[in-house]
Structure 1
Amino acid sequence: MSVDAIAPKPAPIPPQPPAEPPTYPQWLGHPKPLWMLFMTEFWERFAFYGMRWALVLYIVAQFYRGDASGEAPASELYGAYLALVYAAAIFGGYVADKLIGYQRAILLGALFMAAGLFLITIPTDAWLKLGLATIIVGNGLFKPIISTMVGKLYAPTDSRRDSGFTIFYMGINMGAFLAPILTGLLAEKVFGSDGMPAYKVVFIASGIGMMISLLWFWFGRKQLKGVGAAPAGATGPGRMVAVTIGALAAIPVYYFLLTIDAGVLNWILIALFVAPAIMLLVEGIREGARQRDMVIAMLIIFGFNVLFWMFFEQAGSSFNFLAQNIVDRDLGGWMFPVGWFQSVNSIAIITLAPIVAWLWVKMGSANPSIPRKFGLGLIFNGLAFLLLMFALSSLVDPATLKIPFWTLFMVYVIQSVGELCLSPIGLSMTTKLAPAKLTGLAMGGWFLSIAIGNNLSGMFASSVSGEGGMTLASAHAGYTFGFWALLGAGVLLFLIAPLIQRLMHGVK
């Protein structure tokens, strides 16, 4: 017997408590860096939503000379772009955690996004896709990281933590609210007209917004006192150069994915989703029946999440064509800009979020389970399409062949109620149901489910427009399908909710 075998075993090292954040100056009851991150995210969301409403309209106007036959390919490209934005977010966490740190990931991501927005202004199809691919790479580095930074400002036991995230969430919605209003005014009232919007100005304004976000964080990051800095031993330029080269190399990959058929891209995204799903299921089985059941419940809800985003994300594609061509935007001689409809969601979220949160608390033990909240999200999304069905069949003005302004406005409001039932609990649910060893992988699965839904949203919008562009008949047929699909899924989820709840083993 060796000496090692008879020597006393060292005591196991107890788990280390999470590192306490530095002591920060306070402003309005919160760490001062929160407000710096608030404005950084505000301008990033300004950039993202500033160009969102204009993208498909610009593609039709610039590359199809305004011909409605361009609506279908424009919608598919938009869906692919949005899908890859979410898929790219999976890699950002690894790069920040292991390679360059959170601060440098945010700066590099902002730089790539700004460059991509300016590239879009070059009026060729190749530069458009190159610009979108560059934005995708930048978003993958930026978006999943800045939210994590907010959490690092507070100790795990700090009671202000949830309030801090609420303030940060307001920054997201304020940027999303103001961006379409400002860029819509610039495009349709200042540098162009309602008939000939100056879409380039939209992308330039969004690019400037992204540069402000970059500079705001660059000058404000000293307030973080080292939180989110590069990992030990990685403070030099070597890893930063390597990640930059890797990001540049990823641009042609995303460019290629933007050029392939949307159906092929969907199979690629599904394959990317299946791999972590199998790994999660295997780990769940290894940990026992309880964890296996929880993984199964999580994957079932992921499937319904795909359907929700498939129809919710019509906001950036088919709803824009609907607003431009079929909605009566003449308000007493003043033409309501198309892009302003994009701000309705943010207004509704800011207004209704406290009400919905209060309602869940007020309901107490009658508070719906997670599956039923998802079911409500699907049903409210479906009710928005029911309103469109009614408007397109019964409210069409025979003289103008357009539907009333209020109908599309209320569609965005009703969809926002559905979003509040579903979206805020998705990430929380994932962290609770996933195996502890694979929580990050499960978060990747959540983002991939949204990515698949976004790509399908482009394919659905393409079918609504058809080969010749959106008409009253094609819109009615498409949105009728959307209503029945969402209603059916919502009702099904309500019916099987007790089964899913049992699989969740008490997780609420």
Structure 2
Amino acid sequence: MTETTSSAATTPDFPKTLGHPRPLWMLFMTEFWERFAFYGIRWALVLYIVAQFHGGDATGEQPASRTYGAYLALVYAAAIFGGYVADRVLGYQRSILVGAAVMALGLFMIAVPNQQIFEIGLATIIAGNGLFKPNISTMVGKLYGITDERRDSGFTIFYMGINLGALIAPVLTEYLAKAVFGSNAMPSYKYVFIASGVGMLISLCWFWVGRRGLKSVGVAPPGSESVMRVVYVLLGAAAAVPVMYFLLASGAGFLQWVLSALFIVLSLLLLVEGIREGKVQRDRVIAMLIIFAFNVLFWMFFEQAGSSFTFLADKIVNRQLGDFNFPTAWFQSVNSLAIITIAPILAVIWVRMGRSNPSIPRKFGLGLIFNGLAFALLMLALSDMVDANGKIPFWTLFMVYVIQSVGELCLSPIGLSMVTKLAPLRLVGFGMGGWFLSTGIGNNLSGIFAGHVSGETGMTTQSALSGYTFGFWSLMGAGVLLFLIAPLINKLMHGVK
């Protein structure tokens, strides 16, 4: 998912490489290594929690899934504050550097085989990600003038950096954990986390060396150049870590109440501002909030990828392909491979459809329906394709990731663009916060749902079938409903396309 923002009033004249401002390629590689770090640990987190802190017992699957969902939710929630720090306190360049350093520290901390240090490490990653993730994408937008025709293709190139990092990371970190430092029976997960920490340090160094080419883009706001500002932000990040740790340790249920309360407050602020600006803006805010609600549902089921789907791949999928055993971690690369392959095809389809191109709510509806079709395939596999060993065919889970990726491409790329068009002008930042928060709520619910799929005693074929059947009906019902009410939402949007 790529964030776009308006560029600065005056864009420096950058040297060109392959027709784009040269700093784009530096930002491409900075984000490549950050995504390498993020996705490098994604496949291992729930497996590590069960193995290290629950003695490998399947009863640990439920708390592992809940921790994973809460971690993802807080990563998105923290992004709400990172943009404010960059805008008002530190500038984008220094925010990225501080965020990268804090994230690297957290990644090395989770390699320590102690549950409390592990959770503090996750909290540290969350604090650092909040400073890094929203601001690196904003920097890309600032390389181009608002009317620069290369802007969209620049974000497409940057988006490829995200997906290439996500594609390679699980393959390499799984190889280190099993083939180099461990075995299939006893993976050495700490080297997954160490390798990801090294990736984050490369991202930090790459940006540190390359930032000179950014010229004035992303420098500290006037009057805030003092080094003490960096110290204050570091102290703020340090103070945020125990808050994040408390929210992680309090459990996904408590976190859900906190996130929901934040979302209600934010929604009321947006609605009040919309009412103040008049009927058209009020209606647009209502339309945006309706779509946020469907966004929660999409990510609740999409993010099974790092939790219940991982347990499914590990326990119930027949990964033997002739003499080759397809590693569980490699399933995490399928989404990125599918996006790189399918995104250009889908873009051509949207263009060729012209005036028949689906509206924003109907594209969201398609996203939900494709997500639902992925769960339909799982239902079929778990009910009619289970072999004598209690396993389902490899291709079914592989295609689940591919089908979900089509759904993601229908929904995710237009999300933030939609917010910039529908949010009240004075509160676009809050609108962005609502998008991130709705995604975070969905991620937290994904952990709670994955816990139900595993149950108290660990995932079984029957528990997976029951849970994924619920996922199918929820997604298909929501997708059909969104299609039916799309004309009403379009009316509320007052011409926004």
* Bin for the TM-score computed over the shorter chain: over 0.9
Q: Please, which moves more after superposition, 303-312 or 259-268?
A: 259-268
* Pair 1:476-2:437 in alignment: no
Aligned positions of 1:414-453 closer than 5 A: 414-453=403-442
Amino acid corresponding to residue 251 of structure 2 in structure 1: D
CA-atom RMSD, angstroms?
A: 0.8
CA gap of 1:58–1:18, structure 2 versus 1, over 3 A, is closer
Identify the residue that residue 11 of structure 1 maps to in structure 2.
none
Is the Cα–Cα contact under 8 Å of residues 87 and 221 in structure 2 kept in the other structure?
Answer: yes
Structure 1 residue corresponding to 2:212, chosen from 214, 218, 222: 222
Structure 2 residue corresponding to 1:201, chosen from 176, 187, 191: 191
- State the 1:18 CA deviation: 4.9
Identify the residue that residue 335 of structure 1 maps to in structure 2.
325
Identify the residue that residue 4 of structure 2 maps to in structure 1.
none
Is the Cα–Cα contact under 8 Å of residues 37 and 197 in structure 2 kept in the other structure?
Answer: yes
- State the 1:333 CA deviation: 2.1
* Pair 1:401-2:399 in alignment: no
- State the 1:167 CA deviation: 0.3
- State the 1:502 CA deviation: 0.5
Aligned positions of 1:171-210 closer than 5 A: 171-210=161-200
Is the Cα–Cα contact under 8 Å of residues 335 and 405 in structure 2 kept in the other structure?
Answer: yes
Which secondary structure does the structure 2 equivalent of 1:165 belong to? helix
Is the Cα–Cα contact under 8 Å of residues 54 and 202 in structure 1 kept in the other structure?
Answer: yes
Is the Cα–Cα contact under 8 Å of residues 101 and 229 in structure 1 kept in the other structure?
Answer: yes
Identify the residue that residue 262 of structure 1 maps to in structure 2.
252
Is the Cα–Cα contact under 8 Å of residues 194 and 335 in structure 1 kept in the other structure?
Answer: no
Amino acid corresponding to residue 408 of structure 1 in structure 2: L
Structure 2 residue corresponding to 1:109, chosen from 89, 99, 109: 99
Which secondary structure does the structure 1 equivalent of 2:392 belong to? coil
Aligned length: 491
1:81-110 per-residue CA deviation (whole Å, 9 max, x = no partner) reads 000000000000110010010000000000
1:22-71 per-residue CA deviation (whole Å, 9 max, x = no partner) reads 11111111111000000000000000000011000000000111100000
Looking at structure 2, the residues matched to 239 and 203 of structure 1 have their Cα atoms a distance apart, in angstroms, of: 30
Looking at structure 2, the residues matched to 205 and 350 of structure 1 have their Cα atoms a distance apart, in angstroms, of: 24
Identify the residue that residue 3 of structure 2 maps to in structure 1.
none
1:226-245 per-residue CA deviation (whole Å, 9 max, x = no partner) reads 21111111112111111111
Which secondary structure does the structure 2 equivalent of 1:157 belong to? coil
Identity of aligned residues (%): 73
Question: TM-score normalized by structure 2?
Answer: 0.98
Identify the residue that residue 248 of structure 1 maps to in structure 2.
238
Structure 2 residue corresponding to 1:233, chosen from 219, 223, 228: 223
Is the Cα–Cα contact under 8 Å of residues 292 and 438 in structure 2 kept in the other structure?
Answer: yes
Question: TM-score normalized by structure 1?
Answer: 0.96
Amino acid corresponding to residue 420 of structure 1 in structure 2: L
* Pair 1:388-2:373 in alignment: no
Amino acid corresponding to residue 172 of structure 2 in structure 1: L
Structure 1 residue corresponding to 2:151, chosen from 161, 177, 194: 161
Is the Cα–Cα contact under 8 Å of residues 67 and 251 in structure 2 kept in the other structure?
Answer: no
Identify the residue that residue 314 of structure 2 maps to in structure 1.
324
**Structure number with larger C-alpha Rg:** 1
- State the 1:129 CA deviation: 0.4
1:372-392 per-residue CA deviation (whole Å, 9 max, x = no partner) reads 100000000000000000000
1:326-354 per-residue CA deviation (whole Å, 9 max, x = no partner) reads 00111112211111000000000001001
Amino acid corresponding to residue 199 of structure 2 in structure 1: G
Looking at structure 1, the residues matched to 146 and 445 of structure 2 have their Cα atoms a distance apart, in angstroms, of: 38
Is the Cα–Cα contact under 8 Å of residues 269 and 448 in structure 1 kept in the other structure?
Answer: yes
Amino acid corresponding to residue 230 of structure 2 in structure 1: M
Which secondary structure does the structure 1 equivalent of 2:317 belong to? coil
Structure 1 residue corresponding to 2:62, chosen from 72, 75, 80: 72
Identify the residue that residue 301 of structure 1 maps to in structure 2.
291
Q: Please list every run of at least 4 consecutive aligned residues from structure 1 whose deviation after the TM superposition is greater than 4 angstroms.
A: none
Looking at structure 2, the residues matched to 29 and 455 of structure 1 have their Cα atoms a distance apart, in angstroms, of: 41
Amino acid corresponding to residue 473 of structure 2 in structure 1: W
Is the Cα–Cα contact under 8 Å of residues 188 and 337 in structure 1 kept in the other structure?
Answer: no
